């Protein structure tokens, strides 16, 4: 085997322990900051606790796109535009009908979102104004796609959007056919705000890489959905709920969790790649779940989850000392979304509804820089091999 050719320029190297890009800064952003040591999430200058449960999802989308919360007239105008964008193009409706017959929810969402270029009035226009309009269309249409797919796969009649309902309320309405209570709308708004953006996660990085090639916004969001589909990024809420339900009663929590750890299994909803303390979104979503339980009277599940969290943190501290494995956003997401009436396999698509605000904001920010994201890799293969004709191999 030949040796590596000499070069005047040093070859890039990578520490295998950080081959997942931990600690590597890939972009400058004004959109969000994740402080894993302090357990703090900042969205455009606001701690997530300042926004979640107080601001509507539309307000936070506007904040991400424009850098400031909207005034009353600006919010009203945005809401009017979003209502006007809810009607899907014929091509998207056809894609959803096909997807409902044979595709799982995240595949269906990716497939349908990719078709949303069909009614773009001027695909060649890459001005900020044109891309803002695309961001608004995507934000309005992703929840309609999820709800339409869900109704079709269950062979239920479609529910048309109601123009007087905001995004969260209309999503719940189109899913169920029933106007949701204010408490349910607030619960979903809180969730969507909480997951609207979260630093340079895998799907956001995917969207920015695609945008950096001067590709279009719909392609970037389609790619982000593809990244979110992976269970290491967006697939934990369902298994977290499975765990809570399998435990069943508070007194079973410790024995059940110790048995799972003894088998080498993970406790779902605990631990985070960045946070070394409790995920701040967990507390926000716990409060949202508690407020919803106050309305429904269904506090038993919440009390069980709270005990599972307490015991899980204790058991993990003993089993994996120094790891600081606390609850993450998925833990109370699972409980809240179930209480809102969503089936497990719509948890990740609903996450995508919320994250569309952040994805589109990152695309806008990346387009403003105009620079291709092109990292290097460390080659670890051979050099200087000699070609052997096929008949001699």
330 counts as catalytic: yes
| C-alpha radius of gyration, the chain, whole number | 23
* Top-confidence residue, 12 or 294: 294
pTM for the model stands at 0.90
Given the residues 272, 309, 362, 365, select the one marked as catalytic: 272
Q: What is the dihedral of CA 59, 65, 68, 69, to 10 degrees?
A: -10
The ranges assigned to domains in the chain are: 44-231+347-369, 237-339
Q: How much is the average pLDDT of 157-183?
A: 96
Contact of 173 with 158, CB cutoff 8 Å: no
Instruction: Inform me whether the pLDDT recorded for 257 exceeds 60.
Output: yes
Q: Residue 4 has what pLDDT?
A: 54
Q: Residue 7 has what pLDDT?
A: 46
What is the distance of C-alpha 116 from the center of its chain?
19
- pLDDT-derived band at 102, boundaries 50, 70, 90: very high
Q: Residue 3 has what pLDDT?
A: 53
CATH assignment, 44-231+347-369: 1.10.580.10
233 counts as catalytic: no
Given the residues 136, 309, 330, 365, select the one marked as catalytic: 330
Residues 139-150 have pLDDT tens digits of 999 999 999 999
Query: Across the chain, what does the average pLDDT equal?
Result: 91
Q: Which residue has the tokens 């589109």?
A: 360
Q: In the CATH scheme, what is the homologous superfamily, with its name and number, of domain 237-339? A: Cytochrome P450-Terp, domain 2 (1.10.230.10)
Instruction: Inform me whether the pLDDT recorded for 192 exceeds 90.
Output: yes
- pLDDT-derived band at 8, boundaries 50, 70, 90: very low
Q: Residue 81 has what pLDDT?
A: 98
d(CA 335, CA 237): 9
Q: How much is the average pLDDT of 337-352?
A: 93
């Amino acid at each position: 085997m030949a040796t590596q050719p000499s070069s005047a320029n040093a070859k890039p190297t990578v520490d295998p322990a950080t081959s997942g890009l931990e600690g590597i800064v890939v972009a400058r952003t004004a959109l969000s900051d994740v402080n894993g040591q302090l357990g703090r999430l900042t969205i455009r200058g606001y701690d997530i606790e300042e926004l979640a449960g107080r601001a509507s999802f539309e307000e936070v989308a506007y904040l991400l796109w424009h850098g400031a919360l909207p005034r009353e007239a600006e919010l009203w105008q945005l809401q009017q535009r979003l209502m006007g964008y809810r009607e899907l193009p014929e091509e998207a409706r056809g894609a959803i009908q096909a997807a409902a017959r044979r595709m799982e929810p995240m595949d269906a969402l990716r497939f349908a979102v990719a078709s949303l270029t069909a009614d773009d009035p001027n695909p060649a226009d890459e001005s900020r104004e044109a891309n803002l309009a695309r961001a608004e269309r995507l934000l309005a249409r992703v929840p309609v796609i999820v709800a339409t797919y869900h109704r079709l796969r269950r062979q239920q009649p479609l529910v048309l959007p109601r123009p007087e309902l905001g995004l969260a309320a209309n999503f719940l309405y189109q899913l169920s056919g029933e106007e949701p209570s204010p408490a349910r709308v607030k619960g979903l708004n809180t969730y969507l705000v909480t997951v609207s953006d979260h630093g340079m996660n895998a799907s956001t990085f995917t969207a920015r890489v695609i945008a950096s090639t001067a590709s279009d916004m719909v392609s970037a969001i389609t790619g982000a959905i593809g990244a979110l589909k992976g269970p290491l990024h967006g697939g934990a809420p369902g298994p977290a709920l499975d765990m809570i339900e399998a435990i069943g009663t508070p007194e079973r929590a410790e024995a059940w969790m110790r048995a799972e750890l003894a088998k080498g299994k993970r406790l779902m909803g605990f631990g985070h790649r960045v946070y070394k303390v409790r995920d701040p979104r967990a507390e926000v979503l716990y409060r949202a779940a508690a407020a919803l339980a106050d309305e429904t009277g269904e506090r038993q599940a919440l009390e069980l989850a709270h005990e599972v969290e307490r015991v899980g943190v204790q058991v993990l501290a003993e089993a994996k000392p120094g790891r600081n494995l606390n609850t993450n956003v998925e833990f109370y997401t699972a409980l809240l979304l179930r209480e809102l009436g969503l089936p497990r396999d719509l948890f990740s698509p609903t996450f995508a509804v919320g994250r569309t605000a952040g994805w589109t904001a990152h695309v806008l920010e990346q387009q403003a820089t105009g620079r291709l994201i092109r990292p290097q890799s460390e080659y670890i293969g051979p050099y200087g091999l000699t070609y052997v004709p096929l008949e001699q191999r």
